[in-house]
C-alpha cells in the first residue's frame, strides 16, 4: 500500500543491501517480523503502542533494495482485514520558538500526577495500572541524579539539536488556543513517518550498508 510506505516520507531514493553473516537477525524478519510502534505526543506522552509488521522480509534474499520500497505488511497480522490499525494523527512543528514553549510546558506537565489518565478500558481488571507503554517525549532522557535532583528531561541547551516536535490532537488544539496565530506553524503529520525513522534507526541500522559513507551520512542527517 503506497500510503503506508517509507517512500512517501523520503525526497530521494536510498539504495541499501544487507550485510554479511547476519542470518540470525534476518530470520526474525522472515519468521516473526513485528517491530515496535511507539509514537506519542511530545507534550502529554500519550499515543499508540503496538507491534507492526513490515515487508522487509521479502528483501532478505535479494542483492539489494531501496528503503523507499518498505511498506506496512497487513498479511496474517492482528490488524489484517479488521481495520484495527488506527493511529493517532500528529501535528508537527519545526518553529524553534514554539519548540521552546512546548518544552517549558512539558517540564510543568512532568510535575503533574502521573496517575492521571485520559481514557480507561472498562473491560480491564487492572484499570489503575495502565501505564504509558513506554511512550516518551523527545524531551525525555534516561533519568539521572544531579545535585540531589532526579532529572529525566533534556536541558535547555540541548533544544538546539531538536529539528521538530509533534503534538497529539488534544494538545495541539489546546496549544493553538492558548497561543493564537500559531496554527500555521504546524503541519498535520502521518504518524507512520516516526515509525519508519525509528524502524531504520533501531532495527536496520546495524544490518544494512548504504552505497557510500556520504549517502549514509546524508540519510541519517535527513531523518534526525
Confidence of residue 2 (pLDDT cuts 50, 70, 90): low
pLDDT tens track for 120-168: 444 444 433 334 456 888 998 877 655 555 567 888 999 998 999 999 9
Report residue 181's pLDDT band, with 50, 70 and 90 as the boundaries.
very high
Question: Is residue 125 included in any domain, yes or no?
Answer: no
Domain membership of residue 211 (yes or no) is yes
Chain-wide mean pLDDT for the chain? 83
Residues 182 and 102 in one domain: yes
108 shares a domain with 31: no
Whether residue 66 is found in the same domain as residue 54:
yes
- Same domain membership, residue 29 and residue 76: yes
**pLDDT tens digit string along 69-118?**
999 988 888 887 665 678 889 999 999 999 999 999 998 876 655 555 55
Task: Say whether both 95 and 69 belong to one domain.
Answer: no
Do 101 and 151 share a structural domain? yes
Longest dimension (CA), the chain: 55
* Confidence grade of residue 22 (pLDDT, cut at 50, 70, 90): confident
Rounded to an integer, what is the distance from CA 32 to the centroid of its chain?
A: 21
- Mean pLDDT across the stretch 37-51? 89
SS (H, E, C) the chain: CHHHCHHHHCCCCCEEEECCCCHHHHHHHHHCCEEEEEEECCCCCCEEEEEEEECHHHHCCCCCEEHHHCCECCCCCCCCCCCCCCCCCEEEECCHHHHHHHHHHHHHHCCCCCCCCCCCCCCCCCHHHCCCCCCCCCCEEEEEEECCEEEEECCHHHHHHCCCEEECHHHHHHHHHHCCCCHHHCEEECCHHHHHHHHHHHHHCCCEEECCHHHHHHHHHHHC
Q: Helices 96-109 and 169-178 sit at what angle, rounded to 10 degrees? A: 110
Question: Which position has the grid cell 472498562?
Answer: 122
Number of domains in the chain: 2
Q: What is the mean pLDDT of residues 166-186?
A: 95
**Does residue 126 sit within a domain?**
no
Same domain, 166 and 204: no
Q: Give mean pLDDT, residues 212-222.
A: 83
The reply to whether 145 and 209 lie within a common domain is no
**80 and 94 co-located in one domain:** no
Q: Is the pLDDT of residue 223 over 70?
A: yes
Average pLDDT rounded to a whole number, residues 18-29: 85
- Looking at residue 126, its pLDDT comes to 41
For residue 68, the model assigns a pLDDT of 93
Q: pTM value?
A: 0.81
Residues 95 and 137 in one domain: yes
| Domain coverage including residue 81 | 2-87+191-223
Q: Specify the pLDDT at position 150.
A: 54
Q: Does residue 14 register a pLDDT over 80?
A: yes
Amino acid at each position: 500500500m503506497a500510503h503506508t510506505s517509507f517512500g512517501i516520507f523520503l525526497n530521494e531514493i536510498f539504495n541499501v543491501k544487507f550485510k554479511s553473516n547476519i542470518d540470525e537477525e534476518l530470520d526474525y524478519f522472515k519468521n516473526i517480523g513485528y517491530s515496535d510502534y511507539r509514537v506519542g505526543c511530545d507534550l502529554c506522552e500519550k499515543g499508540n503502542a503496538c507491534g507492526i509488521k513490515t515487508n522487509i522480509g521479502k528483501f532478505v534474499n535479494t542483492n539489494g533494495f531501496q528503503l523507499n520500497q518498505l511498506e506496512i505488511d497487513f498479511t496474517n497480522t492482528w490488524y489484517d482485514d479488521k481495520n484495527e490499525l488506527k493511529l493517532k494523527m500528529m501535528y508537527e512543528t519545526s518553529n524553534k520558538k514554539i519548540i521552546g514553549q512546548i518544552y517549558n510546558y512539558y517540564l510543568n506537565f512532568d510535575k503533574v500526577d502521573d496517575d492521571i489518565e485520559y481514557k480507561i478500558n472498562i473491560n480491564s481488571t487492572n484499570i489503575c495500572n495502565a501505564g504509558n507503554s513506554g511512550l516518551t517525549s523527545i524531551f525525555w532522557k534516561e533519568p539521572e541524579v544531579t545535585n540531589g535532583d532526579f532529572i529525566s528531561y533534556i536541558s535547555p541547551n540541548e533544544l538546539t539539536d531538536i529539528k521538530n516536535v509533534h503534538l497529539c490532537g488534544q494538545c495541539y488544539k489546546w496549544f493553538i488556543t492558548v497561543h493564537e496565530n500559531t496554527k500555521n506553524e504546524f503541519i498535520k503529520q502521518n504518524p507512520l513517518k516516526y515509525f519508519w525513522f525509528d524502524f531504520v534507526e533501531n532495527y536496520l541500522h546495524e544490518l544494512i550498508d548504504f552505497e557510500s559513507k556520504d549517502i549514509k551520512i546524508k540519510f541519517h542527517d535527513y531523518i534526525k
